[in-house]
Amino acid sequence: MTDLILPLWPIARDVLAFLWSVLPRTVTEALLWQFIYLPLLLAAVYPVVIQYERGRWWKLLMPFTLVAAIVDVWLNFTTFSVYLGGLPEEGETTLSKRCKRLVRDSGWRGFIARLIARYTNLFDENHIPLP
């Protein structure tokens, strides 16, 4: 296991240095991170998470998956509460669980949930069943 982790340490150190350099320092930057950058990060990391769930390259992808899981739960209760007009119901800890309920809505919430469902279904067929 250490044979896999030690060669990746310089890369991880550079990634942490980059993340430290782009941390928000003003309210505007914090809002951009919350409502633009983090959702885009989640969308970019989602295909990696699917590979992890399918059992491919699990040792290499586990750190990305853990970060994506934390970002998913965080955004579900913050940013997507604004985008989808309310807090998730009990048991809807991830955005996918929440969208499975909302895709059947005929209003604007359902429209946004169907957009998210179409994107996630590109990488994991029928992850969020569409009506």
Q: pLDDT for 89-123, tens place per residue?
A: 999 999 999 999 999 999 999 999 999 999 999 88
Radius of gyration of the chain (CA): 17
Phi, psi of 26 (to 5 degrees): -130, 170
Buried b (16+ CB within 10 A) or exposed e, 16-40: eeeeeeeeeeeeeeeeebbeeebbe
Whole-number Å distance between alpha carbons of 119 and 113: 10
Q: Is residue 128 part of a domain?
A: no
Q: Is residue 103 part of a domain?
A: yes
Domain range holding 96?
A: 2-16+26-123
Phi, psi of 22 (to 5 degrees): -105, 10
Q: Is residue 129 part of a domain?
A: no
Q: Is residue 45 part of a domain?
A: yes
Q: Is residue 96 part of a domain?
A: yes
In the chain, the number of structural domains is 1
pTM exceeding 0.75: no
